[in-house]
Structure 1
Amino acid sequence: MSNSDMQGEVSPLTRAVQIYVSAMRVAAGTIMTIIVVVMVAQVVARYGFNASLIWAEELCRYLLIWMTFLLLGLAYENGQFVSLDVIPLMLTTRWRHALRIVMALPVLCFLAIMTWYGWDYASRFTNQTIPAMDFIFDNLFGRPAGLSVRLVYVSVSIGCFLLSMHILVDVIRSVRAFMRNQPDAEADPAAGEKL
């Protein structure tokens, strides 16, 4: 291990990944804060003033959809997806990497299809606006917001694309580890790095 490695120097790619992860966490925290504030305001308005915020549920639903798809990649990276690990644990380190590569390929194909057709599907709704947002903007500012439903549907494509990038990085790491016959990072966290 070189002296620069011990001092904690990071590569530009690692720094970019750290910025991406931080941005996703900030986005998730911001979205969750907005959801909580809007839902509390909805409850207070409904039960305290007998007046409902008709746009609150729709806004929170769309924000939750976005948060879910934005965080798919981080959930994958942190091992929070359901997995069956009986067979990989019975394999040698080298073949564990090979199995991870083989299992990732159909998932990457599926995510590519979801990204492509999700974008195509979202494009069909460019002219359809979000009714509740139009209502609230019309009441507050005198004109509808004109926000397209496409903004909601495109979250599927963006989320699938981001998840595919995480899986692709995992495949690249597995190929390198397979070629070098390195220890499995998932079985031994000290053996590898995560995004």
Structure 2
Amino acid sequence: MKVVRWLDEHFEEYILVFLSAFTVVIIFMQVVMRYVFDNSLTWSEELARYMFIWLIYIGVSYAVKKKRHLGVDAITMLFQEKGKLVIALIANFLFLIFAMVMTYFGLDIVLRVTRESAALQIPLAWVYAAPVVGMALTSIRLIQNMLLEVKQLKELKNKDSKQLTNEQGETA
């Protein structure tokens, strides 16, 4: 259970740190090779590009987990807590549909692609898997957020019904 909780809390973070650090190292190596040794690595830019693609899609999942993804809050500012939760629930549901569609069609592409990358000669399926994995993780995080929002709505409803009962008891 501790392993699952740890993965839930830190999975995306460790992947993002690794991808970022490794990308920086590769680009630094390329700069040193080009400007110090007057030679360049044939594979470094391609690998950095592919890692950046993975970084973006894992980053989407991380942003959803931390509730830091882009959103328009002008409408939600008009509502109180319950209204904000309902709007967030609807927005997350629509985002979930999008993420699931991306995962489904992305998986279809991954299973069909047979080409290899130019410099690294790795199957491009590994690159095309980034949106699939990222959107699948995003779907999981969206479901977690939606369950939390439903729980918060139930707590608000119980709180409101208790207040209403207390107010009716005081007026009687």
Kindly indicate whether the alpha-carbon contact (under 8 Å) linking 1:101 and 1:174 is maintained by their aligned counterparts in 2.
yes
Q: Secondary structure at the match of 2:39?
A: coil
Counterpart selection for 2:152 from 177, 180, 192 = 177
Q: How far off its partner does 1:167 sit? A: 1.1
Counterpart selection for 1:100 from 61, 80, 88 = 88
Matched length: 157
Q: Secondary structure at the match of 1:173?
A: helix
Counterpart selection for 1:166 from 114, 126, 141 = 141
Kindly indicate whether the alpha-carbon contact (under 8 Å) linking 1:119 and 1:154 is maintained by their aligned counterparts in 2.
yes
Kindly indicate whether the alpha-carbon contact (under 8 Å) linking 1:21 and 1:74 is maintained by their aligned counterparts in 2.
no
Q: Secondary structure at the match of 2:119?
A: helix
Tell me which residue corresponds to 2:115.
128
Counterpart selection for 2:74 from 86, 89, 100 = 86
Unaligned runs of 5+ in 1: 1-11, 135-146, 183-195
Tell me which residue corresponds to 2:41.
53
Tell me which residue corresponds to 1:31.
19
User: Which amino acid in structure 2 is aligned with residue 167 of structure 1?
Assistant: L
% of aligned pairs identical? 22
- Partner Cα distance (1:85, 1:105) in 2: 16
| TM-score normalised by structure 2 residue count | 0.82
Counterpart selection for 2:59 from 71, 88, 100 = 71
Tell me which residue corresponds to 2:30.
42
Tell me which residue corresponds to 1:6.
none
Tell which deviates more after alignment, 79-88 or 56-65: 79-88
- Partner Cα distance (2:62, 2:16) in 1: 11
Higher radius of gyration, 1 or 2 = 2
- Partner Cα distance (1:96, 1:17) in 2: 28
User: Which amino acid in structure 2 is aligned with residue 161 of structure 1?
Assistant: A
Structural RMSD (CA): 1.8
- Partner Cα distance (1:67, 1:132) in 2: 20
Structure showing the higher helix proportion among its residues: 2
Q: Deviations over 1:45-75 (max 9, x none)?
A: 1111221111110000001111111121211
- Partner Cα distance (1:174, 1:181) in 2: 10
- Partner Cα distance (1:152, 1:24) in 2: 18
